[in-house]
Chain A
Amino acid sequence: MNDPNNQPAPLTIDDVRHVAKLARLAVPQERLAALQHDLQAILGHIAQLQSVNTDGLEPMAHPLTLTNRLGDDVPQPSMPITDLLRNAPAVQGDFLAVPKVLGGESS
């Protein structure tokens, strides 16, 4: 924490906008500055991670040393489609209804 070089580069409004897009969150223009401030403060704090020597340490993604557990390849009854669709905001027949898909994701 004492090393000023540990402080992260300032987060710009464009950075916040970019992260919001990656996160699929429509952040209104007027909330960007507040988010920038909050995220910058949190990143400033977690910059202390840079002061810990982690040379040669294997990342630990999970507390248990688990290996893949394989189940028997036996079909099990599925949940009824009507149960699964009951929570859907828009349905057509047995399908989920969505706006047009092609050409959308790139916006």
Chain B
Amino acid sequence: MNIDLVQVRDDIRTRKTTARATVDQTLARIARSNSQLNAYHEVFDDQARADADRIDLEIAAGKSVGVLAGVPIAIKDNIVTRIGHTTCSSRILENYRSPFDATVINRLTQAGAIIVGKTNLDEFAMGSSCEKCAWGVVRNPWDINRVPGGSSGGSAVAVAANLCAAALGSDTGGSIRQPAALCGVVGFKPTYGRISRYGLVAFGSSLDQIGPITHSVRDAALLYQCMAGDDPHDSTCAPRAVEDVVTTLEETPRAFRVGLPVQYRKGNSPSVDAAVARAVEFFKAMGATIVDIDLPLTDVGISTYYVIAPAEASSNLARFDGIRYGHRTKSTAAKDLFDLYAQSRAEGFGPEVQRRIMLGTYVLSAGYYDAYYRRALQIRRLIKQEFDTAFAKCDVILGPTSPTAAFSIGGMTDPLAMYMCDVYTVNTNIAGICGISLPAGFDETSQKPLPVGIQLQAQAFAEPMLLKVARAYERVQGGREYPTA
């Protein structure tokens, strides 16, 4: 049986169960399966139990508690917490302990959530498979020989395998949605600026967004509601009111139009195309209008992304220099500051992170800035305009989250081929709009059934409508299976 966040929350509040029992069960499951799945890098057993006991006492005393009281939540390890470490799954931050909590951590714990642990990711959120995690590969609970996707793979696995009620991820080019699709759970990337990035270790600052990974759209809406809204610590947080998405969630969406981009139909595995086709039938049956739309820059998105994201990363990751925090080389060959920086960084960063720092440095360097970086930013505007044109014809864009189900661990060695996994997700971030991946059936052609996901994208700040449509799909689609691994 699967943990339903809202159900658990209600059961704790009405004393059908206790926060302590919920946490104990979660910790027991982690103890059983984390050594195999490697979802968590660190688990806060003692603190989680203490927090649960405190919440149970408050409920027993009749005090009013927050909307997440007693619910165990997992946190991607690139979101800083005062408890434990924040490593970004990188050796360079192996021993790093944050002196502050991210804004999202404050908001969740104020609502009563219990932080159960920190989950593994591709180092610094750079990857689509969680094979590039300094603390070992993360395994997909549907088939442990397959990747969970990335970069928020640990969080997606923790949810799929019921090692938490819900988790936080971060999404720079698909890092919430793609692992959610590959693990058969819900992954929601809100509009850029909807949720504070304060305390999210920066990768691509104009692309990064924190969001929930959950069992249901209902759970995702609740977590989003708790986290969204302006923050004085993040000047790129949108200064606009957050609509109540939780109470409107169950409303039947008014007549809406579903856009199908012609560019989203090539190169997918048949099971993925079939999942999208089934979703089209669901939406038709709901009375939605289906329209063809044109997003000709879909392919160019990957190229645009692999200029902008590494450029921003090369700048953001310059702070890891072995001086104020993080790994410092022990090499006695490092005689001066330059050597200290260069040696510490070469020892601390893994190969993919170094590759992207190099790429970003190159596209920003003298002589190449205009040809790569400036041009990518111009194309970014075109991609945004393309979405604006599409959203004049439709309310949501429907398509695959990822072209295939989970691939085998070690099965994709070419970095460029790996980048192509994100073809349907990067443009959401480039344009700063919102998107959600929903479980949509299985690929039955592999040895074990593997989940496939569909993605719905909507215009910036259209979360209330997007979530309502996603919830309507979820209701029609009905119950789901859960992994047995």
Does B associate with A? yes
The reply to whether B382 and A57 form a contact with Cβ atoms under 8 Å apart is: yes
* Distance to closest chain B CB from A90 (angstroms): 7
The reply to whether B371 and A79 form a contact with Cβ atoms under 8 Å apart is: no
The reply to whether B337 and A46 form a contact with Cβ atoms under 8 Å apart is: no
Q: A25 to B322, alpha carbons, bound, how many Å?
A: 12
Question: What A residues does B371 contact at CB under 8 A?
Answer: 50
Out of A21, A49, A90, name the residue touching B375 (CB < 8 Å): A49
The reply to whether B357 and A107 form a contact with Cβ atoms under 8 Å apart is: no
Most chain B beta-carbon neighbours within 10 Å: one of A64, A100, A104, A106: A64
Q: A49 to B297, alpha carbons, bound, how many Å?
A: 10
From known contacts A39-B358, A57-B378, A62-B206, infer whether A69 and B192 are also in contact, taking CB-CB under 8 Å: no
Q: A107 to B318, alpha carbons, bound, how many Å?
A: 18
What size tier do the contact residues of chain B reach?
A: 35 or more
* Distance to closest chain B CB from A65 (angstroms): 10
Question: What A residues does B328 contact at CB under 8 A?
Answer: 89-90
Query: Is B343 at the interface (CB under 8 A from chain A)?
Result: yes
Question: What A residues does B300 contact at CB under 8 A?
Answer: 48-49, 52
Q: A98 to B324, alpha carbons, bound, how many Å?
A: 10
The reply to whether A38 and B355 form a contact with Cβ atoms under 8 Å apart is: yes
Question: What B residues does A49 contact at CB under 8 A?
Answer: 300, 303-304, 307, 372, 375-376, 379
The reply to whether B358 and A24 form a contact with Cβ atoms under 8 Å apart is: no
Name which residue of chain B comes closest to A104, CB basis.
B336
Q: A19 to B232, alpha carbons, bound, how many Å?
A: 37
Question: What B residues does A23 contact at CB under 8 A?
Answer: 314, 345, 357-358, 361
From known contacts A24-B318, A79-B99, A88-B324, infer whether A63 and B303 are also in contact, taking CB-CB under 8 Å: no
Query: Is A73 at the interface (CB under 8 A from chain B)?
Result: no
From known contacts A49-B372, A69-B239, infer whether A89 and B358 are also in contact, taking CB-CB under 8 Å: no
* Distance to closest chain A CB from B428 (angstroms): 10
Question: What B residues does A86 contact at CB under 8 A?
Answer: 97, 99
The reply to whether A60 and B377 form a contact with Cβ atoms under 8 Å apart is: yes
Q: A96 to B323, alpha carbons, bound, how many Å?
A: 7
- In residues 352-386 of chain B, which contact A (Cβ within 8 Å)? 354-355, 357-359, 361-362, 365, 371-372, 374-382, 384
Binary B-proximity of A82-107 (CB < 8 A = 1, otherwise 0): 01101111100000101111011111
The reply to whether A26 and B236 form a contact with Cβ atoms under 8 Å apart is: no
What size tier do the contact residues of chain A reach?
A: 35 or more
- In residues 293-323 of chain B, which contact A (Cβ within 8 Å)? 297, 299-300, 302-304, 306-307, 314, 318, 321-323
The reply to whether B354 and A63 form a contact with Cβ atoms under 8 Å apart is: no
* Distance to closest chain B CB from A107 (angstroms): 5
The reply to whether B416 and A45 form a contact with Cβ atoms under 8 Å apart is: yes
Out of A25, A58, A64, name the residue touching B354 (CB < 8 Å): A25
Question: What B residues does A61 contact at CB under 8 A?
Answer: 206, 377
Question: What B residues does A60 contact at CB under 8 A?
Answer: 377-378, 380-381, 384
The reply to whether A98 and B379 form a contact with Cβ atoms under 8 Å apart is: no
The reply to whether B336 and A99 form a contact with Cβ atoms under 8 Å apart is: yes
Name which residue of chain B comes closest to A55, CB basis.
B378
The reply to whether A64 and B358 form a contact with Cβ atoms under 8 Å apart is: no
From known contacts A22-B365, A49-B375, A59-B377, infer whether A35 and B336 are also in contact, taking CB-CB under 8 Å: no
Question: What B residues does A48 contact at CB under 8 A?
Answer: 299-300, 303
Q: A69 to B362, alpha carbons, bound, how many Å?
A: 32
Out of B192, B342, B362, B365, name the residue touching A64 (CB < 8 Å): B192
Query: Is B460 at the interface (CB under 8 A from chain A)?
Result: yes
Nearest 6 interchain pairs by C-beta = A63-B432, A104-B336, A59-B377, A87-B325, A89-B328, A83-B99
Residues of B participating in the A interface, judged by any CB pair closer than 8 Å: 95-97, 99-100, 192-193, 206, 232, 235-236, 238-239, 297, 299-300, 302-304, 306-307, 314, 318, 321-328, 334-343, 345-346, 349, 354-355, 357-359, 361-362, 365, 371-372, 374-382, 384, 414-416, 419, 430-433, 460
